Amino acid sequence: MTALARPPAAPPARPPDPARGEVVFHVRNLSKTYGTGEAAVHALAGVDLDFRQGELVVLLGPSGSGKSTLLNLLGGLDTPSAGTLLYRGWDLGAADEAGLTQYRREDVGFVFQAYNLIPSLTARENVGLIGELASDPLPPEEALRLVGLGARLDHFPAQLSGGEQQRVAIARAIAKRPRVLLCDEPTGALDVRTGIVVLEAIESINRELGTLAAIITHNAVMAAMADRVFSLSDGRVVNVQTNAQRAPVSTLAW
């Protein structure tokens, strides 16, 4: 593996100061096209953005606007068709399969709309599974306590409610102490009350660990909790909104 293929080492300190935070993702003219010829779908068509250390970003937009595609590219699940995508100066777009795997293993925590828990493992084991990959993971109990599930360690996914399952998924994502937390519609399948609990968990991780958190949603209410809000439509960023003050999650309602 070349020097470029490996993400650079983490900085020693992580002051939670989003305004002056270092650039984590440097995105320029980023495009993603599925299919070719007449059947080609331009999921992303020239996106320019920067994501900074410690900030909480909300990606807003209707279905098909390109949010998930952008998140997949940021998370190294997919590779761009054109444009620049740098992670701390490292070219994600040019990384090979092994490099991307290493990147996801060390740096990225994912939270999916469908939770994607392993049904045959308990909450503790689902979280512990990811701990096996990381060099300095949080103990599963600690990660689950952070999302308020300290009392349901040995329950299987089928024995947990949707919100609890989603919080296990968040605990799993943060257990490796990721530098980037990517959440794809984390409250999409949840009721308001449960959704608030889940968002609080994400918010507190962002605040306490200084993790860059990006949340995809089509729920405009959630924009208030972010440092910055990127609105997407038809594969382009149509608006960037910076909040002077982040609203506490508990005040949100939809």
Partner 1 sequence: MSLLDRKLLRDLRALKSQALAVALVMACGLTMMVMTRSLIVSLESARTRYYEEYRFADVFARMKRAPDDVARRIAEIPGVAAVQPSVGRMVTIDLAGLPEPVMAWFATVPERGEPLLNRLHLRRGRLLEPDARGEILVSEAFAEVHGLGPGDELAAILNGRKVPLRIAGIVLSPEFVFEAPPGAALPDNRTFAVVWMNYKELAEAFNMEGAFNQVSLALEPGASERSVIAELDRLLVPYGGLRAYGRAHHASDVRVNDEIRVLLGLSVGFPIVFLAVGAFMTHAVMSRQITLQREQIAMLKACGFGRREIGLHYLKFAIVIVAVGTVLGVIGGVLLGHRLVDLYHRFFRFPDLHFELATGVLFAAAAASALSAVVGVGGAVRRAMRLPPAEAMRPEPPAQFEPSFVERIGIGRFMGVSLRMALRNLQRKPVQALLTATALSLATAILIIPNAFRDGVSYVLDFQWDIVQRQSVTVSLVEPGPARALADFRTLPGVVSTEPFRATPVELVSGPIARRINLIGLRGEGGLSRVLDGELRQIVLPPRGIVLSSKLGEVLGVGIGDEVLVRSLEGKRVERRVPVAAFAEDFAGVSAFMELTALNRLLLEGDLVTGAYIAVDRGRWTDFLAAVKETPRATSVVVKEAMRESFRKTTAESIGVLQMIYLLFATLVAFGIVYNSARISLSERARELATLRVLGFTRGEVGAVLVGELTLLALLAVPVGLWVGGWLAQGLLTIVNTETVRLPLVLTLANYSFAASVITVATVVSLLVAARRIREIDLVSALKVRD
Which residues contact partner 1 by CB under 8 A? 72, 75, 77-78, 97-98, 101-106, 108-110, 112, 114-121, 125, 128-130, 132-133, 157-158, 165, 172-173, 176, 184, 189
Query: Least distance (Å) from partner 1 to the CB of residue 148?
Result: 20
Q: Could you identify the residue written with the tokens 């003050």? A: 245
The answer to whether residues 30 and 47 touch, using CB atoms and an 8 Å cutoff, is: yes
* Complex with partner 1: residue 31 or 165, whichever CB lies closer: 165
Query: Least distance (Å) from partner 1 to the CB of residue 65?
Result: 16
* Complex with partner 1: residue 198 or 225, whichever CB lies closer: 198
Rounded Cα–Cα distance for residues 35 and 44 (Å): 13
End-to-end CA gap in the chain? 48
> H-helix or E-strand containing 30?
strand 23-34
Query: Least distance (Å) from partner 1 to the CB of residue 114?
Result: 5
Query: Least distance (Å) from partner 1 to the CB of residue 205?
Result: 16
- DSSP symbol at 234: T
- Cβ neighbours of residue 116 closer than 8 Å, sequence gap 6 or more: 169
Which amino acid does the sequence have at 194? Answer: T
Query: Least distance (Å) from partner 1 to the CB of residue 225?
Result: 24
The answer to whether residues 226 and 215 touch, using CB atoms and an 8 Å cutoff, is: yes
User: How many CB atoms within 10 Å of residue 247?
Assistant: 14
CA 173 to chain centre: 9
* Complex with partner 1: residue 18 or 109, whichever CB lies closer: 109
* Complex with partner 1: residue 151 or 158, whichever CB lies closer: 158
The answer to whether residues 121 and 129 touch, using CB atoms and an 8 Å cutoff, is: yes
* Complex with partner 1: residue 116 or 239, whichever CB lies closer: 116
* Complex with partner 1: residue 117 or 249, whichever CB lies closer: 117
- Cβ neighbours of residue 191 closer than 8 Å, sequence gap 6 or more: 163
* Complex with partner 1: residue 21 or 75, whichever CB lies closer: 75
Query: Least distance (Å) from partner 1 to the CB of residue 128?
Result: 5
Rounded Cα–Cα distance for residues 182 and 97 (Å): 19
- DSSP symbol at 180: E
Query: Least distance (Å) from partner 1 to the CB of residue 35?
Result: 13
